[in-house]
Amino acid sequence: MTRKKEIEVEITDSENEAAENNAAEEPTSSTGQPAEPVSEEDRLNARIVELEDRLLRNAAEFENYKKRQARLYEDMVRNANDRVLADLLDIVDNFERAVEHASATGDNGADAVRKGAELILSQMKDMLGRYDVTPIESLGKPFDPNLHEALMQVQSAEYDEGIVALQINRGYKRGDRVIRHARVGVSTGAPEAE
């Protein structure tokens, strides 16, 4: 019988300690009285509301970030275009000077216009070089759809079948990226003898 009482006393002591711990964790109201215990459901609902609020704030912040980035990108493109246009304006000025000079010289105007056009063409090529724009060499090269746009097929005794035999418009690339495909005529081989 003594052994049974010892076990009951140990269980009672454990229950008392747990009750004291729970009482220490219970919130109190502003009057100092213990507040009503918060149910698990109420805590979960409060957590859901908190997470929903955080999600909405993050979504709004991300939308604002996307708008800022779009404005920044537009500004960068506009500034880059302004630089190119400023370079082109120098070339327009030179064209105007060439036309004025040709008008003033009279009969030798054609020669002056030719020299002016050559200088302006040289200036244009230099400007394109500054922007890393290079021409695509096409004539005599195998047709490549990544670089060329085939407009026609031509018979050619000089070039084998599938080789670019005619360049209609020169293509250009910037670095490895094609800006404008070369418009070409592709050889079908030598004409057949009749």
28 in a structural domain? no
Structure-token pair, residue 90: 């120098």
Give the domain range for residue 106: 42-131
Q: What angle do CA 174, 171, 130 make, to 5 degrees?
A: 35
Among 189, 111, 193, residue whose Cα is nearest residue 153: 189
Interval 12-65: pLDDT, tens: 454 445 445 444 444 555 555 555 677 999 999 999 999 999 999 999 999 999
Sign of CA dihedral 161, 166, 169, 173: positive
- Kindly report the average pLDDT of the chain as a whole number: 79
Note whether 161 and 122 are same-domain residues.
no
More confident residue, 132 or 22: 132
96 in a structural domain? yes
Q: Domain of 173: which CATH number?
A: 2.30.22.10
Q: Which residues pair with residue 152 across a beta bridge? A: 185
Q: Domain of 55: which CATH number?
A: 3.90.20
List, in sequence order, every beta strand (DSSP E) within the chain. Answer: 133-136, 148-154, 164-169, 171-174, 177-180, 182-187
Least confident stretch, 63-67, 94-98, 182-186: 94-98
| 95: confidence class by pLDDT, cuts 50, 70, 90 | confident
CB 141 within 8 A of CB 163: yes
The number of C-alpha atoms within 13 Å of 153 and in the hemisphere containing its C-beta is 7
More confident residue, 98 or 124: 124
* Total domain count, the chain: 2
The whole-number average pLDDT for the span 165-175 is: 90
| 181: confidence class by pLDDT, cuts 50, 70, 90 | very high
Note whether 166 and 87 are same-domain residues.
no
| 85: confidence class by pLDDT, cuts 50, 70, 90 | confident
pLDDT at 59: 96
State the helix-helix crossing angle for 109-130 and 40-105, rounded to 10 degrees.
160
Cα separation, 182 vs 95, whole angstroms: 26
pLDDT at 33: 59
| 113: confidence class by pLDDT, cuts 50, 70, 90 | confident
Note whether 85 and 145 are same-domain residues.
no
Note whether 107 and 140 are same-domain residues.
no
Q: What share of the chain is helix, strand, coil (3-state, %, to 5)?
A: 60, 20, 25
pLDDT at 49: 95
Distance linking the first and last C-alpha atoms of the chain: 129
pLDDT > 70? residue 116: yes
pLDDT at 92: 76
pLDDT at 75: 87
